[in-house]
Amino acid sequence: MSLLAHSAEDPADSRTYLLNNGTAHRYHRAVTESVTRISAKIAGTARPFTGITVDGLAPTVDGVDLDAPLHDAAAALDELEEVYLRDAVYFHHPRYLAHLNCPVVIPALVGEAVLSAVNSSLDTWDQSAGGTLIERRLIDWTARRIGLGGLADGIFTSGGSQSNLQAMLLARDEACRRELTRDGTSPKFSVRLEQGGPLSGARLTDVLPRLRILTSECSHFSIRKSATLLGMGAEAVITVPSDGNKRMRTDELAAELARCHRDGLIPMAVVATAGTTDFGSIDPLPEIADLCARHGAWMHVDAAYGCGLLVSRRRELLSGIERADSVTVDYHKSFFQPVSSSAILVRDRSTLRHVTYHADYLNPRRMAEKRIPNQVDKSIQTTRRFDALKLWLTLRIMGAPAVGELFDEVIDRAADAWKLLHDDPRFDVVVEPQLSTLVFRYVPGADRDPEIGDRVNLHARDALFASGDAIVAGTVVDGRHYLKFTLLNPETTLEDIATVLDLIAEHAGAFLAEQPQPALSAR
């Protein structure tokens, strides 16, 4: 009988499924068996994906009767193999080269096991105690690495999109506060702005439509989404052109800031990116900081991808980030943490008051007066997992320099892969990477119609995914379809990359061979 099955002497009473002092032995057996299984699965994974299609897998998942429990965890794990584990996309495999998904370090997995079993909620002190203090220490540690100064603070979030949303919320409310108080809003209203809580009042209807966010054309889509969620509309985002290296052009930024002032608009925030999703490019942070200071704009740095540089030998690439008003970091990208693990950091902790709401049942104002540290006072979430524990154990077991070495390895590999692509006549590579992303395109020939090139690259990506031999991403550059390598696995070798390039070329060649001759004629 499975260690996880109920015996005749131990009936399937619903209370036996609860983790407590009487069932801890059952929890130990269950986790041991599940870890044994997943360890064997990872050890035996020969390719990142099986190539299963939606139509191929959906009937298996749909065939599970969720109203007929198995009462046997071993049987459930057997079933899980069929509906999930067999066909999962395995990011630890060296030929997974698609998105910003990293292999994870073992100390963080230890943290994941601990935090899920204890199940602390990080919203209030009386639910988390030590967890609150650990999270605060890690925020302080990150803020010091960034160089934000002694007034800095922040909060862990679910990911870069949430961190960016909170940063834009703070920037919006700070811009409204400045504008309303400058225009002579009543002292009572000014006090309400200073103390936090929802912004309201007739004057807001005049201010909000004038707010603008300026960001690079290569920045993350969450900036535009944030503007929409914050009631400003996507049209409030002004897109600033990038240069040949896909970095924000500061001359264009300066021109747009000047235009905002001429047109009576308020540049509430400038969003610089330290590691764009497509190109890994880092905007010129010092120059952007100068312009923000000159025009009174909140400077936010989206370093969701590039935050690993904080512990890297390439720390100088982030020069200027210390002048930001807010910074997004995603530990679950370049710190090799399991999803989710992100944070938003701010230079001035007082700006977090814009997300502070008090509820009598949870965090009444008297707790703040007693200096009881309720993290919900700084977060747009209420219930939050203790995701900080994963980073804490990572730093305590392996240390920050070891994390930085892993990130430096993938950046080194990307530099070598760029040379490989640059010298290969089969491919056109867009820019030399600053981090670990490469955007390139299979070139079917100088006399080919560019639309054929689009179809070739789309086909090659799909065919490679269907084979399961490797996974690459795709994007669009100047209206044309390109392929993308995102390297985050130090185990990925240059030989792996060369092999994937050959596979892409094979799929592309097979596609071209099947095309009718007229479609291949020169224009």
Tens of pLDDT, residues 418-449? 999 999 999 999 999 999 999 999 999 766 78
Q: Is residue 496 part of a domain?
A: yes
Give the domain-ending residue among 363, 381, 415.
Answer: 363
Q: Which of 476, 466, 497, 483 is nearest to 427 (CA)?
A: 483
Q: Which helix (H) or strand (E) holds 266?
A: strand 266-273
If asked whether residues 355 and 213 sit together in one domain, one would say yes
DSSP three-state, residue 504: helix
Q: Which of 146, 421, 114, 194 is nearest to 303 (CA)?
A: 146
Whether a cis peptide bond, with omega within 30° of 0, leads into 14 is no
Whether a cis peptide bond, with omega within 30° of 0, leads into 467 is no
Least confident of 120-124, 185-189, 314-318: 185-189
Q: Is the pLDDT of residue 290 over 60?
A: yes
Q: Is the pLDDT of residue 417 over 60?
A: yes
Are 228 and 234 in contact by the 8 Å Cβ rule? The answer is: yes
> Using N-to-C axis directions, what is the helix angle for 400-422 and 388-397, rounded to 10°?
90
Percent of the chain predicted with pLDDT > 90: 86
**What confidence category does residue 515 fall into, taking pLDDT thresholds of 50, 70 and 90?**
confident
Least confident of 2-6, 173-177, 321-325, 418-422: 2-6
Tens of pLDDT, residues 382-393? 999 999 999 999
Q: Is the pLDDT of residue 12 over 70?
A: no
Return the amino acid letter for 7: S
Q: Is the pLDDT of residue 248 over 70?
A: yes
- The total of other beta-carbon atoms located within 10 Å of residue 339's CB is 17
- The total of other beta-carbon atoms located within 10 Å of residue 175's CB is 22
Tens of pLDDT, residues 36-90? 999 999 999 999 999 999 999 999 999 999 999 999 889 999 999 999 999 999 9
- The residue segments making up the domain with residue 244 are 149-363
Q: Is the pLDDT of residue 10 over 70?
A: no
Residue located via tokens 């939050």: 384
If asked whether residues 339 and 438 sit together in one domain, one would say no
Please compute the mean of the pLDDT values over residues 157-165 and round it to a whole number: 97
Q: Is the pLDDT of residue 200 over 60?
A: no
- The total of other beta-carbon atoms located within 10 Å of residue 266's CB is 21
If asked whether residues 429 and 350 sit together in one domain, one would say no
DSSP three-state, residue 59: helix
Q: Residue 223: CB partners within 8 Å, gap ≥ 6?
A: 164, 168, 213, 215, 237, 271, 302
If asked whether residues 491 and 344 sit together in one domain, one would say no
Q: Is residue 460 part of a domain?
A: yes
Q: Is the pLDDT of residue 244 over 90?
A: yes
Query: Nearest 5°: phi and psi at 70?
Result: -85, -20
Q: Is residue 482 part of a domain?
A: yes
If asked whether residues 197 and 323 sit together in one domain, one would say yes
Q: Is residue 195 part of a domain?
A: yes
Per-residue pLDDT at 206: 82
Sheet holding 480-486, edge to edge: 96-97, 471-477, 480-486, 437-442, 427-429
Give the domain-ending residue among 363, 390, 413.
Answer: 363
Query: Nearest 5°: phi and psi at 440?
Result: -150, 170
If asked whether residues 205 and 341 sit together in one domain, one would say yes
CATH of the domain at 173: 3.40.640.10
Cα-based distances in Å from 295 to 149, 259, 268: 22, 11, 10
If asked whether residues 359 and 408 sit together in one domain, one would say no
Q: Residue 295: CB partners within 8 Å, gap ≥ 6?
A: 257, 260, 261, 267
If asked whether residues 311 and 442 sit together in one domain, one would say no
Q: Is residue 115 part of a domain?
A: no
Q: Is the pLDDT of residue 185 over 60?
A: no
Q: Is residue 26 part of a domain?
A: no
Per-residue pLDDT at 1: 41
Q: In whole angstroms, what separates CA 404 from the centre of its chain? A: 18
Q: Is the pLDDT of residue 410 over 70?
A: yes
If asked whether residues 454 and 326 sit together in one domain, one would say no
Q: Is the pLDDT of residue 457 over 90?
A: yes
> Structurally, how many domains does the chain consist of?
2
Per-residue pLDDT at 344: 98
CA–CA distance, 253 with 258 (Å, rounded to integer): 9
Pick the more confident residue, 521 or 326.
326
If asked whether residues 163 and 248 sit together in one domain, one would say yes
DSSP type of residue 85 = G
If asked whether residues 350 and 409 sit together in one domain, one would say no
CA–CA distance, 32 with 26 (Å, rounded to integer): 10
Using only C-alpha atoms, the chain has a radius of gyration, in whole angstroms, of 26
Q: Is residue 462 part of a domain?
A: yes
If asked whether residues 169 and 270 sit together in one domain, one would say yes
Q: Is residue 175 part of a domain?
A: yes
Per-residue pLDDT at 198: 55
Are 279 and 437 in contact by the 8 Å Cβ rule? The answer is: yes
Per-residue pLDDT at 449: 81
State the alpha helices, DSSP H only, in 263-321: 285-295
Per-residue pLDDT at 180: 85
Least confident of 178-187, 210-219, 231-240, 309-318: 178-187
Per-residue pLDDT at 413: 98
Q: Is the pLDDT of residue 188 over 70?
A: no
Across the chain, mean pLDDT equals 92
Written as six digits, the tokens of 385 are 């997992």
Q: Residue 407: CB partners within 8 Å, gap ≥ 6?
A: 308, 309, 311, 312, 334, 335, 336, 436
Please compute the mean of the pLDDT values over residues 335-351 and round it to a whole number: 97
DSSP three-state, residue 242: strand
CA–CA distance, 17 with 362 (Å, rounded to integer): 29
Pick the more confident residue, 515 or 33.
33
Q: Which of 322, 345, 332, 435 is nearest to 390 (CA)?
A: 332
Per-residue pLDDT at 205: 77
End-to-end CA distance of the chain: 70
**What confidence category does residue 182 fall into, taking pLDDT thresholds of 50, 70 and 90?**
confident
CA–CA distance, 458 with 254 (Å, rounded to integer): 38
Percent of the chain predicted with pLDDT > 70: 92
Tens of pLDDT, residues 206-236? 899 999 999 999 999 999 999 999 999 999 9
CATH of the domain at 415: 3.90.1150.10
CA–CA distance, 450 with 443 (Å, rounded to integer): 9
